[in-house]
C-alpha cells in the first residue's frame, strides 16, 4: 500500500481525537537537528470544521484486536486496515515538518497484536525521530492501556505530552460500551504517567536528565454518547485536574459513527453547543478562577444554551454588581461579562495613571454592550441605562441566540458564527479547544 493511502486511512481513523495542541514546552532548535517548540503552540491550518491543525495526527495502525463498540476501528467492523512502518511515518513527519505544515506528531494507535507490541512499535518510531533525525518538534503520544510500565516510561521520555483518553464519563457507561476496558485500565496508566512526570520534574532540579512528557498529560471525554449531565462531566474533569495534575481535559461531541443499541441513533446530531459550553466552563475554571460548583449544581445540572456560563453566573449574582472599574480588584473584574483576561489587565494598568471612563474602557477593548450592566466608572453608570431583567438579557444575548430564542433558527451548528469567535476563541483553538 502507498504511503498516501495509509495516510488517508490512518488520519481518518485519528480525526475524532480532538486534542490538537502543540503547547506547553519551549525548546530551541539544536544544531545538527531540526525543529523547535514554542509553549503557546502554533496553528498551521484550519480544517473545514474550523478546527486548528497543528500536529500530524495519525494512528500507527487501525488493525485493532479489541472491540469497543463506539469505535470505528473495533475488530468486528468491516473497514480498510493499514499500518505504517515506523520509518515510513518518521520520514513523512520530517517532510511535513520541513515544509512548515505541522508542529510535530500526534501519535496514537489501535492495539496491534497486544498492548506491549503496539507500544514497542511507537517507541521505535519516536526513537528514529528523536535520535536519528534529532527532531526537536512537538510529539504527543497516547499511552496504550495495558502496556508494560517500563514501556510507558520509555515512551514518555521521548514525548512532550502523553494522554490516556477517558472517553466515557462513568464506570457504568464504560461497562456498557467498552467491555474490554474498565476504570482501572484507564486511570492506572494515568496515575503512572502523572507519577513519572512529577518524578522527572523533581530530578530536573538536580541534573539535566531527559524529561518525561514535559508538556504534561491530557485526556478526552466524549460528550453526548451516554446520559451523564454537564455537572457530572465538569466535576469529573475538575477531579482529574486535581488528582492527576492534568494539563488539559478535552471534550468531544459524540459523532454517531456506529449503529449500536446502546448508542444514540446514527441520525442524531453531535451536541456541539454543549461541547462549546463545557469548554467555556473549563476556561473559566482554569483562567478565571471559577469553581465547578459555582457554575452548576445538582438542581441546575446543565448549561443554559442561550447564554454562556459567565453571563449565566453574573445573572444569578446580580447582588454582587455593579463594581467600580476604578477600584474593583482584578478577580472581580474578571467576573464581569464583557471583560476578558486582557482587558482586565489593561484596566489595572491604565487606571494607575488616571481614572477611567466608559469611552476609555471601549478603547481598552471592553465589550460595553455586555459589561455596562455590571460596572460603574467613578460611581456613575452608563447614562440612560435600563436595568430591567429583560433588557439585561437582551444585552447579554448575541444576535444569533436572540433569533434562536425567537424560534427562527433551530440549527445548533450555526451558533458558532462570528459573534462567538473572539480573540479568546483563537487562543482556545491554539490550546486545543473548540
Binding-site ranges for ligand SF4 (CB under 6 A): 64, 66, 68, 71, 73-74, 110-111
Cα(434)–Cα(430) distance, integer angstroms? 9
- With CB cut-offs between 5 and 8 Å by kind, which of ligand SF4, other proteins, none does residue 73 bind? ligand SF4
Using the rule CB under 8 A, which residue among 89, 364, 371, 375 binds other proteins? 364
- With CB cut-offs between 5 and 8 Å by kind, which of ligand SF4, other proteins, none does residue 264 bind? none
Rounded least distance, CB 229 to other proteins, Å: 23
**Residue indicated by cell numbers 513519572:** 196
299 binds other proteins (CB under 8 A): no
Rounded least distance, CB 196 to other proteins, Å: 28
Q: List own/partner pairs for 48-52 with CB under 8 A and 24 or more apart.
A: 50/416, 50/434, 51/18, 51/20, 51/429, 51/434, 52/20, 52/429, 52/430, 52/432, 52/434
Using the rule CB under 8 A, which residue among 113, 330, 349, 369 binds other proteins? 349
Using the rule CB under 8 A, which residue among 76, 78, 99, 265 binds other proteins? 99
- With CB cut-offs between 5 and 8 Å by kind, which of other proteins, ligand SF4, none does residue 191 bind? none
Rounded least distance, CB 35 to other proteins, Å: 6
Cα(252)–Cα(49) distance, integer angstroms? 13
Cell of 282: 473549563
46 binds other proteins (CB under 8 A): yes
275: enclosing H helix or E strand: helix 272-287
* Structure letter (DSSP) for residue 76: T
Q: How many CB atoms lie within 10 A of CB 217?
A: 24
Q: Which is nearer to other proteins, 154 or 428 (CB)?
A: 428
Q: What is the SS3 string spanning 315-374?
A: HCCHHHCCEECCCCCHHHHCCCCCCCHHHHHHHHHHCCCCCCCHHHHHHCCCCHHHHCCC
Q: How many residues bind other proteins (CB under 8 A)?
A: 67
Judged by CB under 8 A, the stretch of 97-105, 197-205, 210-218, 284-292 that binds other proteins is: 97-105
52 binds other proteins (CB under 8 A): yes
- With CB cut-offs between 5 and 8 Å by kind, which of other proteins, ligand SF4, none does residue 110 bind? ligand SF4
Q: Which of 36, 268, 280, 244 is nearest to 139 (CA)?
A: 36
The terminus-to-terminus CA distance of the chain in angstroms comes to: 34
350 binds other proteins (CB under 8 A): yes
267 binds other proteins (CB under 8 A): no
As a whole number of angstroms, the longest Cα–Cα distance in the chain is 72
- With CB cut-offs between 5 and 8 Å by kind, which of other proteins, ligand SF4, none does residue 96 bind? other proteins
429 binds other proteins (CB under 8 A): yes
Cα(421)–Cα(400) distance, integer angstroms? 12
Cell of 228: 451523564
434 binds other proteins (CB under 8 A): yes
Q: Give the sign of the dihedral formed by CA 17, CA 181, CA 170, CA 196.
A: negative
Give whole-number Cα distances, 321 to 65, 209, 372, in Å. Answer: 58, 51, 11
217: enclosing H helix or E strand: strand 217-223
Q: Which is nearer to ligand SF4, 110 or 434 (CB)?
A: 110
255 binds other proteins (CB under 8 A): yes
Using the rule CB under 8 A, which residue among 346, 366, 376, 432 binds other proteins? 346
Q: Which is nearer to ligand SF4, 165 or 217 (CB)?
A: 165
Cα(425)–Cα(193) distance, integer angstroms? 29
43 binds other proteins (CB under 8 A): yes
- With CB cut-offs between 5 and 8 Å by kind, which of ligand SF4, other proteins, none does residue 74 bind? ligand SF4
Rounded least distance, CB 163 to ligand SF4, Å: 13
Rounded least distance, CB 118 to ligand SF4, Å: 10
- With CB cut-offs between 5 and 8 Å by kind, which of other proteins, ligand SF4, none does residue 310 bind? none
* Structure letter (DSSP) for residue 415: G
Using the rule CB under 8 A, which residue among 5, 199, 202, 297 binds other proteins? 5
98 binds other proteins (CB under 8 A): yes
Q: Which is nearer to other proteins, 150 or 403 (CB)?
A: 403
59: enclosing H helix or E strand: strand 55-59
User: 88-127: b or e for each residue (b if 16 or more CB lie within 10 Å)?
Assistant: ebbebbbebbeeeebbbbbbbbbbbeebeebbbbbbebbe
Query: Which residues of the shown chain bind other proteins in the complex (CB under 8 A)?
Result: 2-5, 7-8, 11-12, 14-16, 28-36, 38, 42-54, 56-57, 92, 95-96, 98-101, 253, 255, 269-270, 272, 346, 349-350, 352-354, 356, 359-360, 363-364, 413, 416-418, 421, 426, 429, 434
Amino acid at each position: 500500500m502507498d504511503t498516501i493511502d495509509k495516510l488517508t486511512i490512518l488520519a481518518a481513523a485519528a480525526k475524532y481525537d480532538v486534542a490538537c495542541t502543540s503547547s506547553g514546552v519551549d525548546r530551541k532548535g539544536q544544531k545538527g537537528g531540526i525543529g523547535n517548540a514554542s509553549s503557546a503552540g502554533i496553528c498551521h491550518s484550519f480544517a473545514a470544521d474550523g478546527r486548528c491543525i497543528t500536529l500530524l495526527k495519525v494512528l500507527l495502525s487501525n488493525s485493532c484486536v479489541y472491540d469497543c463498540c463506539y469505535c470505528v476501528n473495533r475488530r468486528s467492523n468491516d473497514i480498510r486496515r493499514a499500518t505504517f512502518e515506523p520509518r515510513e511515518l518518521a520520514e513523512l513527519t520530517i517532510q511535513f515538518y520541513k515544509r512548515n505544515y505541522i508542529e510535530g506528531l500526534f501519535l496514537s494507535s489501535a492495539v496491534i497484536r497486544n498492548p506491549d507490541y503496539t507500544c514497542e512499535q511507537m517507541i521505535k518510531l519516536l526513537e528514529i525521530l528523536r535520535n536519528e533525525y534529532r527532531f526537536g518538534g512537538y510529539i504527543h503520544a497516547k499511552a496504550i492501556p495495558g502496556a508494560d510500565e517500563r514501556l510507558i516510561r520509555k515512551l514518555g521520555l521521548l514525548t512532550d505530552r502523553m494522554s490516556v483518553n477517558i472517553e466515557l464519563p462513568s464506570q457504568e457507561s464504560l461497562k456498557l460500551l467498552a467491555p474490554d476496558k474498565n476504570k482501572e485500565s484507564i486511570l492506572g496508566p494515568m496515575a503512572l504517567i502523572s507519577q513519572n512526570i512529577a518524578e522527572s520534574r523533581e530530578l530536573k532540579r538536580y541534573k539535566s536528565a531527559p524529561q518525561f512528557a514535559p508538556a504534561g498529560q491530557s485526556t478526552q471525554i466524549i460528550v453526548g454518547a451516554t446520559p451523564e449531565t454537564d455537572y457530572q462531566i465538569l466535576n469529573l474533569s475538575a477531579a482529574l485536574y486535581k488528582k492527576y495534575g492534568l494539563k488539559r481535559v478535552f471534550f468531544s461531541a459524540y459523532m454517531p459513527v456506529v449503529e449500536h443499541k446502546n448508542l444514540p441513533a446514527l441520525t442524531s446530531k453531535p451536541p456541539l453547543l454543549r461541547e462549546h459550553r463545557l469548554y467555556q466552563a473549563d476556561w473559566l475554571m482554569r483562567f478565571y478562577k471559577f469553581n465547578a460548583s459555582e457554575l452548576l449544581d445538582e438542581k441546575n445540572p446543565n448549561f443554559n444554551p442561550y447564554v454562556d456560563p459567565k453571563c449565566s453566573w453574573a445573572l444569578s449574582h446580580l447582588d454582587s454588581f455593579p463594581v467600580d472599574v476604578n477600584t474593583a480588584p482584578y478577580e472581580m473584574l474578571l467576573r464581569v461579562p464583557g471583560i476578558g483576561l486582557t482587558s482586565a489587565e489593561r484596566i489595572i494598568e491604565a487606571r494607575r495613571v488616571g481614572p477611567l471612563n466608559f469611552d476609555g474602557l471601549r478603547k481598552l477593548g471592553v465589550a460595553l454592550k455586555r459589561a455596562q450592566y455590571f460596572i460603574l466608572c467613578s460611581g456613575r453608570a452608563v447614562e440612560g441605562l435600563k436595568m430591567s431583567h429583560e433588557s439585561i438579557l437582551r444585552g447579554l444575548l448575541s444576535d444569533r441566540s436572540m433569533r434562536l430564542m425567537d424560534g427562527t433558527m433551530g440549527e445548533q451548528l450555526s451558533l458558532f458564527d462570528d459573534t462567538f469567535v473572539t480573540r479568546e476563541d483563537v487562543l482556545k483553538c491554539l490550546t486545543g479547544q473548540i
